[in-house]
Every structure is written in C-alpha cells, then in structure tokens.
Structure 1
Amino acid sequence: MFVINSEDISPEIENYKDATQDHFWKKNKVERKLRAWGYILLARSQSQPPLKMMLYTMALESLLGTSTTELSHRLAGRSAIMLGATTEERIEIYATIKRSYDNRSTIAHGDLLKDDSNFEDRIMKVDDYLRKLMSFEEPYNMENAEIDKFFIEKLMS
C-alpha cells in the first residue's frame, strides 16, 4: 500500500526503484494504482515525448481499463466523468485523452506521428489528469464488473 500526498504526489513505496516484472503478471494481483504509478514514474523519467505519451496512456489503462473493446472511448469518457465539473470541461478532457490514445496507438504500432503543435501541451494535460485521478480511491479498488457499473451509474446520474 502507498500514501498519496497532494502536495508531492510521489508514491511512498519502499524500493520502488528496484526493477521487477511482478506488475505484469495477473497472479501477483498488483493494485491498479500501483501499476499506474509504475507507468507514471517511467513517463516522468522519459526524455522522449512520444514515449512519455505512450506510458501515460498505459497508466490510464491501468486505472480505468476493464476491457480492450472501445478502449480509447472508455478511457476518455471515464476520465471526463471523474474529472470534469462542467460539460465543457468533460468535452475537453474527453478530446484530450482520445487524441492522446490515438497518438499512443501510432507510437506503439511503430508508425510515424503527424505534425502536432499541441503534442507537448497534451502531455502536460494528461500528466495533470493523472495527478488528479490518482487522488481518488474509487473505483480503483473494485473488480472490473463493479468498475463498469460504477461508471454506468455515474453516466446516468
């Protein structure tokens, strides 16, 4: 378990710098937030912006993903539901995450990115979104079906 300090949102994890592969295997039951922190820390230490973007979206997948179908839509919508206070904010968050996930797919599949003057600004926004998302306890402690239900209820309320 780790504690999040809202002033310095570095996780307090013993030996977090020791590289392991434990977080990749289902049998180890690594919590969503801890997996996400691993990707966030890797992203923040990355000097290449495209790889930083890919790692940030992997953190979003760790936090909010429950299925591989419609993943970019799910991540964008769930981020918007959790972070947006107004319709305009939710639309901006949705568009930012959706575009970021599209960039992630391009990078992960070995294709070339198109010129994008907002790319680095989007990276900073995604980092900020992750900072805020990491401050929540729910729904990260739930099973996939419960997370799906959580977001359906939020969407319909």
Structure 2
Amino acid sequence: MPEDKPSSPTVDEALSAWEQGVGNTPDAPSHPKLAHLKSLFAAHTDVCSLEAVLSAAMNDAGDAVSVTVEVQPGLLALLAHIEKLDSARVGRNPAPPSRLLTQIVSNHLENLLHTIVTNPTSHPHYAELWNAVCSAEGAPELAVPTDDAANGTPPADGGPF
C-alpha cells in the first residue's frame, strides 16, 4: 500500500534544496573596469617580482635553512611553561623550545604566504600600487582602504582579490 505522506527528504536532497534557495545567492555584478585593472596590476614589475617570489615559496622542496632567533629569556620561559602544561594535558613529552619556535615562525610565514597569494593588497606596498592603478584608470571606487596599512596591518575585509 503506498504511503499517504511523501517521504522525508534525504540530507543530500535537503542540502541541494538549500543551495538552490537561500544559500545560492548570485554574485554581485563586477565593476566593468575590474578585469582591466587586475591585468594592469598583474603586469606591474613589482607584482611580477612578487609572483616569482610567491611561486618559489609555494614550490620550494629544498631543505630547511637554520636561522637564529633572539628571544627574551622570560618569553622563552613562558613558552616552555605553556608547552609543559599543554603536553601534560595530552600525555606527551614537552617539545623543546627550538622546535616550538620553528613551528611558530613557520606558521607565521605560511600565513603570510597565504595572505599575500589570496590578496596581495593586504600588504601596504601592493595596496598603494593597486590604488595608484585605480586612480590612473579613473576607478577610485575600487581602491582599497590603506588607513591601517601604515601600521603594517592588512586592510579590513575585501580587496579586489
């Protein structure tokens, strides 16, 4: 005997319906000059140099290079103390401070790489370069904020990339 009620949707069907409804909002139309501005920006010698450095960083299969980092003794003691607490909590031996510092520096550099790859204007130099291209091409509305850039802080959300 057939059921009187329709069967409940599966998770995939429900997700698909959501994606076709509220979750599937169309992108805002892009600025008519955006593609042209991006190509001018990409052709700039500073950006070409950046692309070469980024490519080398992303595809570097070389061995790690040893560097020296100067750290205040109190901060090193803090790092060792926190590592002792964290390692005890999960039942492992504490990692040596040199390995912790290596991981911290590596994480920072990986984040820098990701940030610059996804939005070069997050760096003040490239934000100013982008803004100069926008100004020269009569599209100042596409300029990125640079208020915080003077402090080395990336601009807030957005950017053309």
Bin for the TM-score computed over the shorter chain: under 0.3
Larger Rg: 2
TM-score by length of 2: 0.26
Between 1 and 2, higher relative CO (CA 8 Å, sep ≥ 6) is seen in 1
